[in-house]
Amino acid sequence: MSIKLLINLAIPNFMSIISSNIKFLRKKKGLTQQQFADQVGIKRSLVGAYEEERAEPKYELLKTIASFFEISIDDFIKETINEKWAPAPKGNLRILSISVDKDDNENIELVPLKASAGYLNGYADPEYVAQLPKFYLPMFKQGTYRAFEIKGDSMLPLVSGTIIIGEYMENWGDVKSGETYVIISKSEGVVYKRMGSKFRADKKLKLISDNPVYEPYEISGEDVLEIWKAKAYISTQMPLPAPEPTMESLTSMMAQMQRSISNLQQKN
């Protein structure tokens, strides 16, 4: 098995951006190449190689450098940082780690309940993703998918323990109100809900449960880390047969039909 690190929404001149950012941020801190190398625990020759685009830092080192400069890893690899630069709002570019099988097919990684808390810290870490249980479904050939075990009864008729298979949402602007998604956020963790609004990074995001016992609630768009559109589910509970019609339901249906016929006649 191998690991891939996907950078979504293609970044032009990937190494050029990183090289430029290292050089600019190092000089802004007033550090020589040797001083910077000592701070992050690497050889001075590597700093020169990175700044001159002769070598590419590994992912773990990228995280270390971004943390040292107190900048998010997303901004560090995608934004050309200079005196005019300011942190961009979330929702445009994110790092996605996936695993592939021996035939280079993308696996569907499973995030069980016991791993939900750890997923918040490891979702973009290739080594963490590699340790998750994984499987492959031939009907999902296009796109990137992940499976999440849900808890509770807020999304009935799907019961606790159901596994939701979600497709990775690269563009959060495509999120639609009324559809169901697995939302990964810093405030709520891993939740499966129906969207009550379109995504806006600078606005509150309304999440709705299918079980009317639970009231809708809002989370900050800035807290969102990942969004996966629900495409299928796996459950050990088979669907129940449709209930037999009652006299009350039949009467209601007849009344509705009569109203519809009456409205049509009035229009004609």
For residue 87, being part of any structural domain is answered with no
For residue 14, pLDDT over 70 is answered with no
Query: Does pLDDT of 86 surpass 70?
Result: no
Same domain? For 107 and 230 the reply is yes
Q: Average pLDDT in the 81-92 region?
A: 66
Within 13 A of 91's CA, how many CA atoms are on the CB side? Answer: 17
| Domain co-membership, 113 together with 198 | yes
Pair 115, 214 in one domain: yes
Query: How far is Cα 255 from Cα 268, in angstroms, rounded to an integer?
Result: 20
Count up the domains in the chain and report the number.
2
* 37 and 115 co-located in one domain: no
pLDDT in tens, 42-85: 999 999 999 999 988 888 898 899 889 988 887 788 788 988 87
Does 167 reside within a domain?
A: yes
| 262 domain residue, yes or no | no
Residue 242 in any domain: the answer is no
Instruction: Specify whether 158 is located in the same domain as 217.
Output: yes
3-state secondary structure of 65: helix
Q: Say whether both 111 and 70 belong to one domain.
A: no
Supply the DSSP string of 73-132, one letter for each residue: HHHHHHS--STT--PPPSSS--EEEEEE-TTSPBPEEEE-GGGHHHHHHHTT-HHHHHHS
Domain for residue 260, yes or no? no
**Better-scored residue on pLDDT, 264 or 2:** 264
Q: Which residues pair with 146 in a beta bridge?
A: 109, 166
What percent of the chain stands above pLDDT 90?
Answer: 46
Q: What residue type is assigned to position 102 of the chain?
A: K
- The answer on 121 and 187 residing in a single domain is yes
Q: How confident is the model at residue 11 (pLDDT cuts 50, 70, 90)?
A: very low
Q: Is 161 within a domain?
A: yes
**What's residue 3's pLDDT?**
46
| CATH at residue 36 | 1.10.260.40
Q: Domain holding 151: CATH number?
A: 2.10.109.10
Predicted local distance difference test score (pLDDT) of residue 99:
84
107 with 205, same domain: the answer is yes
Does the residue 97 lie in any domain? no
Where in the sequence is the domain holding 74, given as residue range(s)?
2-78
Of all helices (H) and strands (E), which one includes residue 145? strand 145-149
SS (H, E, C) 182-208: EEEECCCEEEEEEECCCCCCCCEEEEE
Residue 84 is assigned to a structural domain of this protein: no
Q: CA-to-CA distance for 55 and 230, rounded, in angstroms?
A: 39
